[in-house]
Amino acid sequence: MGMMNFEIRPQTAQFELGISDGEQLREWMAKTHLVPKLVFSGRSNVGKSSLINSIYGNKTARTSKTAGRTREVNVFSFPLYYDGKRATDLPLFYFLDIPGYGFAEVNPQMKKKWDFLMGVLFSEMTESTLIVNIQDARHPMQEADMAFRDFSKKLEANHILVFNKMDKLKTQKERAQLDKQRIEFSKKFKHCREIYFASAETAKGIPELTNSLIQFLLKTLEKRKVSHS
């Protein structure tokens, strides 16, 4: 089976549950720890929901009018399709849409709860998890992004980095600036397996990114079979 023939079909992801309680999250992670999963993370206004929607189809992720409103870990399940048919020999996979980090306008009580929830999420991650860290191509490597990097690179999980909003780089100067920073990105994000430049608006870079996510899921599944046989 060629991996290239696998696809994520638009509108086939199902919302499973929203978790705001640390213990519930711990239980859910323990119960599903063998299932390959993707975790979408980023600052509150990097277009995370739009990026998820461009991979999984419109209206999959609920875009909040107020950045940083979502304070739950939203769990979705989704199948893979092969040659136009649902791959019934494969399990359902999961993706988690987690609250944006680096938000100033959230009250301290909420932030404490968020930190606890994230602490649980990250401590329960295994190498069956891929963290998809999304940054804004116009404002990369903000303080909150670097704090997230320092925190997450110690985890067992795998990582890729996506610079979204490439369509917003209108001027030659902005594009040249980003090109200059590419070398810096690979140095500063050594723990990331791959770096993508994408636009949820124009879908540029989305097929390559999606393919990379599929490869991760299938390879992780394969590894698991090998280690269990």
Q: Summarize pLDDT for 99-157 with one digit per residue, the tens.
A: 888 765 667 777 787 788 888 999 999 999 999 999 999 999 999 999 899 989 889 99
The residue with greater pLDDT, 158 or 176, is 158
Tokens of 119: 């602490």
Domain 3-228 has CATH 3.60.15.10: no
Q: What is the mean pLDDT of the chain?
A: 89
pLDDT one-digit tens code per residue, 22-55? 999 999 999 999 999 999 999 988 999 999 999 9
Q: Provide the pairing of β-strand 6-7 with 129-136.
A: unpaired
The pTM of this model reads: 0.92
Question: Could you tell me the residue ranges of all domains in the chain?
Answer: 3-228
Q: What is the DSSP string of the chain?
A: --GGGEEPPTT--EEEEEE--HHHHHHHHHHTTTS-EEEEEEBTTS-HHHHHHHHH-TTSSPPPSSTT---SEEEEEE--EETTEE-TTSPPEEEEE-PPBS-SSS-HHHHHHHHHHHHHHHHT--TTEEEEEEEETTS-S-HHHHHHHHHHTTSSSEEEEEEE-GGG--SHHHHHHHHHHHHHHHHHTTT-SEEEE--TTT-TTHHHHHHHHHHHHHHHHHHHHHHH-
pLDDT of amino acid 116: 87
Is residue 68 very low, low, confident or very high in pLDDT (cuts 50, 70, 90)? Answer: very low
What residues contact residue 228 under an 8 Å CB cut-off, 6+ apart? none
Q: Measure the CA dihedral 204/206/208/210, to 10°.
A: 180
Query: How much of the chain, in percent, has pLDDT values that exceed 70?
Result: 92
Are 149 and 189 in contact by the 8 Å Cβ rule? The answer is: yes
